[in-house]
Structure 1
Amino acid sequence: MKNKTIRYYLLIVLIILTVLTGCGLEVINKNGEYGNQLIVHFLDVGQGDSTFIQFPNGETALIDGGTRKSGEKVVKYLKELNIHKIDYLIATHPHEDHIGGLPQVIRNFEIGKVYMPNRTANTFIFEELLKEIKAKGLKINIAKGGDNIIDESNIKFLILAPNREDYENTNDFSIVTKIEYLNTSFLMTGDAEKAAEEDMLKAGYNLKADVLKVAHHGSNSSTTIDFLKKVKPDYSIISVGKDNSYGHPHEEVLDRIKYIGSEILRTDELGCIVFSSNGKGLFLDKNIIIDEQVYIGNKNTKVFHSKDCKSLPNKENQIIFKSIEDAMNNGYKPHEKCLK
């Protein structure tokens, strides 16, 4: 827990430095490039998924576009960033909550390359997407694990999945991508589930990443502990709709992420989540504030809990500790369920 506390305070320092040095997230230099910044926007599209990336070389990528009703919001967001072209458009898999907004995106922006998995769907939204791609005269590139989208000395944009074409579940066809910019990295997983994760592990890819976009909105069919141990993210982003009917994110997944010591950031709680990187460190949008990790003790039982435990004592019986060590030094024992 000591490392987690240190990471929290380092994050606060980085945010302060970002403000003091005027390192804005939308600054574009005269050559149309984003200085030396990699900027990754995890858009708040409700119960869906959409990630926009601004690379230091001036290129851009959009991974998914949320639901059909999110299309207008995604378009507005990109236009407010003064974006005119999307160099790489990635439809991770043909489910409406990922591709629904893409037809509107294609109609509003110049598009470079389109990447899709070798998986179709018999739905109106999928047919509409294909129609818009054809209307723009674009070619679909079938994504496969091991391919490179960008392969430059300082910037890598890699495809790690899908790794076969006989998955039973459409989610396992999800395009998984990894961005490497010098010493920082991001892993975007679509809705990849256990089978796809196992194939990435077997393939021996370097899965380690500073930031993980958690698969399938935090469903317990994804984000296995073996996969998480390989990624070891400092931050885990969950794109999810507030009070959704699926119960996402599932408690089992949240517990697994907490077990490896990763900080959870959710779009239903924070809205759009934006990271920037100069290749040496990560900077979180100064509008996002992460609550300090605290533990809540029960004065009667002398047991302490995580702050989101379902067995917290009444307010009048609570005592707050800033670390596990603090709680134990005061004679408290960890709760057997929430602090295994």
Structure 2
Amino acid sequence: MKKFLTLFIVLFSIFLVACLDKNVENKITNKNSIQKNSSILTVHFIDVGQGDSTLILTPDNKTMLIDGGDNSQGEKIKNYLKKLNVNKIDVLVGTHPDADHIGGLDYIIDNFEISEFYMPRKSHTTKTFKDVLIAAKNKGLAIKEAKYGVVFNLGDYVKCEILNPVKKYGSDNNQWSAVIKAKYNNKSFLFTGDAEFKNEEDMIKSGSNLKSNILKLGHHGSSSSTSEKFLKIVNPDVAVVSCKYKNKYGHPHKEILNLLKKYNIPLYRTDEQGSLVFYCDGNEIWTDKKPGTYNYYGNK
């Protein structure tokens, strides 16, 4: 009898897991109907190799693109957006002047109608940075300053806050990174650019509400970002990292992988899984992919 009861419990548990998996599958497999559902927000972490590019599509068809990968990724991002029938970008953000974040933005500016363009007030001497400025000027596109305290609505449903740069940070491009929190009803996403420990501490001291359901790890999962203190305050349900498979920087670093594992935070990663899409109805978030691994591929 005891063996039978044990077998029954095991089989019933397997049945429950199968049902849950099926429910999740049913929720996301018919993506066309999901896109037509007027209550769904989608967040796309586009695989641009060793770089960042994130697309947000709101329930009322407003769009925000955060970063554009390096110089080779502009056309790939354009094609990705076109497949989603995106022809206009309501808010474009270049988080900071590094080429792996703004390299493709001149191409995007040339090929899309842009309503608003935000960048931090940090200049750079590179051709990549100058190309973005020229593209914006040729389009008659003013650049708004991305800084702490800026709040804007992305359509009628999504509220966005810029939480960094909190102050002036000298010559370090990464520390100037625009950090954006996007909130849809009861759920929120935190996009951190290449923000580092100093920025995290400044954001904590600023009193900003950092709690977010999904955290895009700072600086591609570098050990100079995502302190344990910051991670505990954000307290994400999942973390996402954008980087190239077996990149030369060793991203994501072992320290960050161990930290996420310590707090049992599932990690989704473009280097293992390609582009990632999260769906949100304002009360729950789901995706069609299982989490990636905590595997470390670098030498750091």
* TM-score (norm: length of structure 1): 0.78
Q: Deviations over 1:224-251 (max 9, x none)?
A: 1110001111111000001111111100
Q: Aligned-pair distance for 1:14?
A: 5.2
Cα–Cα, structure 1 residues 25 and 136, in superposed 2: closer, same or farther, change >3 Å? farther
Distance in 2 of aligned mates of 1:167 and 1:9:
54
**Structure 2: which 5+ residue stretches go unaligned?**
1-16
Distance in 2 of aligned mates of 1:17 and 1:204:
40
Residues 1:16 and 2:19 aligned together: no
Distance in 2 of aligned mates of 1:106 and 1:308:
36
Distance in 2 of aligned mates of 1:10 and 1:92:
41
Q: 1:27 aligns with which of 14, 17, 35?
A: 35
Distance in 2 of aligned mates of 1:10 and 1:67:
42
Contact 2:257 2:296 in 1 (8 A): no
Q: Aligned-pair distance for 1:78?
A: 0.5
Distance in 1 of aligned mates of 2:94 and 2:159:
19
Cα–Cα, structure 1 residues 152 and 77, in superposed 2: closer, same or farther, change >3 Å? closer
1:73-152 → structure 2 map (5 Å cutoff): 73-150=76-153
> Which amino acid in 1 is paired with 2:35?
V
Cα–Cα, structure 1 residues 77 and 152, in superposed 2: closer, same or farther, change >3 Å? closer
Contact 1:62 1:90 in 2 (8 A): yes
Residues 1:241 and 2:241 aligned together: no
Structure number with bigger Rg:
1
Contact 2:193 2:218 in 1 (8 A): yes
Q: 1:231 aligns to what? A: 234
Contact 2:117 2:141 in 1 (8 A): yes
> Which amino acid in 1 is paired with 2:77?
V
Distance in 1 of aligned mates of 2:94 and 2:156:
26
> Which amino acid in 1 is paired with 2:27?
T
Q: 1:205 aligns with which of 203, 208, 211?
A: 208
Distance in 1 of aligned mates of 2:62 and 2:216:
21
1:180-199 → structure 2 map (5 Å cutoff): 180-199=183-202
Cα–Cα, structure 1 residues 76 and 56, in superposed 2: closer, same or farther, change >3 Å? same
Cα–Cα, structure 1 residues 64 and 234, in superposed 2: closer, same or farther, change >3 Å? same
> Which amino acid in 2 is paired with 1:289?
K
- Stretches of 4+ aligned residues off by more than 4 angstroms: 8-11, 151-154, 307-310
Cα–Cα, structure 1 residues 155 and 46, in superposed 2: closer, same or farther, change >3 Å? same
Supply the RMSD in Å over aligned alpha carbons: 2.3
Contact 1:47 1:97 in 2 (8 A): yes
> Which amino acid in 2 is paired with 1:147?
V
Distance in 1 of aligned mates of 2:81 and 2:239:
23
Q: 1:177 aligns with which of 176, 180, 183?
A: 180
SS in 2 for 1:122: coil
**Structure 1: which 5+ residue stretches go unaligned?**
1-7, 29-33, 294-306, 311-340
Distance in 1 of aligned mates of 2:110 and 2:57:
20
Question: What percentage of residue pairs aligned between the two structures are identical?
Answer: 43
Residues 1:56 and 2:59 aligned together: yes
- For these two proteins, the number of residue pairs brought into alignment is 281
Q: 1:290 aligns to what? A: 291
Q: Aligned-pair distance for 1:281?
A: 0.5
Q: Aligned-pair distance for 1:35?
A: 1.1
